[in-house]
């Protein structure tokens, strides 16, 4: 990996072989990329965060987990419920429904989300706590004439 630092400017992608810099430096590093430790047993899905969020209609929300164990050979599936958690279905729309972090689609109704962590090696799963998204309407003030 090559790191380039130039005084008072942002290096471009083609500056890595530059020889006319008056101030700055270039450093080379050896980097080894290794696979994550594969999961075994039951994973820990942690707690969905934020636990509760209030949004205006038309906004999106980024949801993740805290206290979760991230290991290799795992699968993730975000789920949603529109009836207070009575039934769950795989999340529709948004970005990252099968990753540890999820960005919801544009929301117009209150909804709940959770994520299921599955260890592909053992086939065991754990489900996170619920993240509740409450859609609030605009507030209007009455001004007398």
pLDDT value of residue 51: 95
Residue 110 and residue 59 in one domain: yes
Query: At which residue do the structure tokens 């008056």 appear?
Result: 22
pLDDT tens, residue by residue, 64-101: 999 998 888 999 999 999 999 999 999 999 999 999 99
Domain that holds residue 4: 1-33
61 and 124 in one domain?
yes
Residue 124 is predicted with a pLDDT of 96
pLDDT score, position 106: 94
User: What 3-state DSSP class applies to 15?
Assistant: helix
Interior CA angle at 39 toward 35 and 43, to 5°?
135
Write out the chain's pLDDT in tens, 145 residues.
877 777 666 666 565 566 666 666 778 899 888 877 888 899 999 999 999 999 999 999 999 999 998 888 999 999 999 999 999 999 999 999 999 999 999 999 999 999 999 999 999 999 999 999 999 866 555 666 6
The H or E element containing residue 59 is: none
Contact 118, 72 (CB under 8 A): no
Q: Are residues 13 and 81 in the same domain?
A: no
- Residue 118, pLDDT score: 97
Q: How far is CA 119 from CA 6, 38, 53, 74, 125, in A?
A: 45, 9, 29, 5, 6
Q: Is residue 98 part of a domain?
A: yes
Same domain, 107 and 70: yes
């Amino acid at each position: 990996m090559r790191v380039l630092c130039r005084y008072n400017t942002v290096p471009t992608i083609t500056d890595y072989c530059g020889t006319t810099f008056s101030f700055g430096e270039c450093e080379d590093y050896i980097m080894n990329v290794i696979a994550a430790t594969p999961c075994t047993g039951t994973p820990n899905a942690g707690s969905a965060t934020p636990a509760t969020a209030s949004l205006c209609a038309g906004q999106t929300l980024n949801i993740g987990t805290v206290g979760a164990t991230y290991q290799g050979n795992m699968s993730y599936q975000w789920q949603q419920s529109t009836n207070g958690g009575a039934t769950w279905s795989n999340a529709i729309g948004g970005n990252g429904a099968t990753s540890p972090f999820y960005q919801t689609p544009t929301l117009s109704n209150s909804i709940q989300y959770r994520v299921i962590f599955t260890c592909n090696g053992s086939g065991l799963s754990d489900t996170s706590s619920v993240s509740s998204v409450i859609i609030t309407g605009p507030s209007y003030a009455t001004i007398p004439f």
